[in-house]
Chain A
């Protein structure tokens, strides 16, 4: 019946460590599916595609890079990629705001839960995460690797 009251390090520090350590999307063996033309996704824009029947994925261009994230919120299954992109605040001292993750935080259109598009990491705990997929651009075509 006991309740673990202290976890170390703090869950939000863990979450933001994962986000800060994120490098470029790793190349991955998989099925390459053509989903769009490179010119179809402008900076800050997104395209919702279906690389496989029943699998909805959002492809976003953030800071020049294309990022693909599953279009399902882990909360209630909302179409996550129809949410807005914005910044958030990183954890810091009390009474201080530290804006960060500009333009890469996806807010679910249903209940407003926040996710980092680049890593898929939720901003509210240490573990929750949405699946992300490598994106490759080849000769003007955009491929999602499943």
Chain B
């Protein structure tokens, strides 16, 4: 079966350094340490990159990952996602630009199977919108990428200009964990003391952003905006949809611009990626969960290659999943989201014939 993988991390390396792409006007500032950040949050004590894999070179990544797994498209989520955390706002804008040009020159130009994410500095929404318009017409750039850590909830009006640019350029707005806890506690009730706690509670941030985007009327203002929640877990979604719809019956008057049940906005505008997939002891429970969260519409496969919690497309999802649901999750949902060509059915047949 052909696959679209919505989360692959290209890494900067000495062979493909970022430095040549840093705009001239901020090079001296970067040398002076002005690209400093508050830190990247919690670190996995055992490392984030798989010991047996990396993703520093497009040719090697194609050979080691895309080819053997029949990945037709891989959506890259570069380290530029952290650009917006940079202390200096103007240096942050320049770094976002650098990462975008690095990604295009290093990966997108090398292999059409790589699709890219536009890094932006959300602390300067005007500049973010400018950057989206500068590079957004590149055919392989399919989304704007931001961290879960943010100054405001993403339904906040401060980000209107960014969403306007996304809609204008036909780009998805994608949210990926990153640096939660770098500036403020990663949970609303304090700082976790371990990466175990931090990683397990990432869905808190995602739920908060998800409710904010819906409740603030973002999808009423921007009816063509689609949001992809990457690596934030999936098990919380049914509960969130049910809680929102129940509360709406009593509290609609506080969000009177909503013209539909909150769940309808989610099902139309929000998509979730699979990795790191919840793994109940009985995989049948996962299939029940898929039913509850409308996986046939909402879920898009992702691997997180080459990170430590990589989900192997052949192993991670229940083997008893109906083939039409697998087709939706592994390919069609992402193809619909990004406007990509339909799956090559011949590839599917030859895979099954093995």
Contacts and interface: CB of A to CB of B under 8 A. Distances in A.
Task: State whether these chains interact.
Answer: yes
Interface of A: 1-3, 5-7, 10-13, 75, 88-98, 107, 111-114, 122-125
A111 B249 CA distance: 9
Given A2-B297, A12-B260, 20 more contacts: A1-B296, A3-B294, A3-B297, A5-B267, A7-B260, A10-B260, A13-B259, A88-B252, A89-B253, A91-B257, A94-B217, A95-B157, A95-B257, A107-B250, A111-B250, A112-B249, A112-B251, A124-B249, A124-B252, A124-B261
A72 B297 CA distance: 37
A3 B260 contact: no
B217 A92 contact: no
A93 B268 contact: no
7 contacts: A1-B325, A92-B256, A94-B220, A96-B257, A112-B250, A113-B250, A123-B253
Contacts of A89: 253-254, 256
Nearest to A122: B249
B197 interface: no
B250 A94 contact: no
Interface of B: 157, 216-217, 220-221, 248-254, 256-261, 264, 267-268, 291, 294, 296-297, 325
Nearest to B266: A5
A72 B296 CA distance: 38
Given A5-B268, A94-B217, A11 B257 contact: no
Contact of A114 (B221, B250, B257, B260): B250
Contacts, number: 74
A122 B339 CA distance: 39
A133 to B, nearest CB: 24
B253 A12 contact: no
B297 A11 contact: no
A76 to B, nearest CB: 12
The interface residues of chain B, by DSSP majority, are classed as helix
A123 B252 contact: yes
Contacts of B253: 88-89, 114, 123
Contacts of B267: 3, 5
A5 B264 contact: yes
A124 B260 CA distance: 8
A12 B217 CA distance: 14
Contacts of A93: 257
A87 to B, nearest CB: 8
Given A88-B253, A125-B261, A94 B216 contact: yes
Nearest to A1: B296
Nearest to B220: A94
B111 to A, nearest CB: 34
Nearest to B245: A124
A25 to B, nearest CB: 25
Contacts of B268: 5-6
A132 B348 CA distance: 58
A12 B258 contact: yes
Given A1-B296, A5-B267, A11-B260, A94 B221 contact: yes
A5 B297 contact: yes
A107 B251 CA distance: 10
Given A5-B268, A95-B157, A90 B256 contact: yes
A10 B249 contact: no
Contacts of B221: 94
Contacts of A107: 250
Nearest to B268: A5
A12 B297 contact: no
A5 B103 CA distance: 35
A58 B298 CA distance: 44
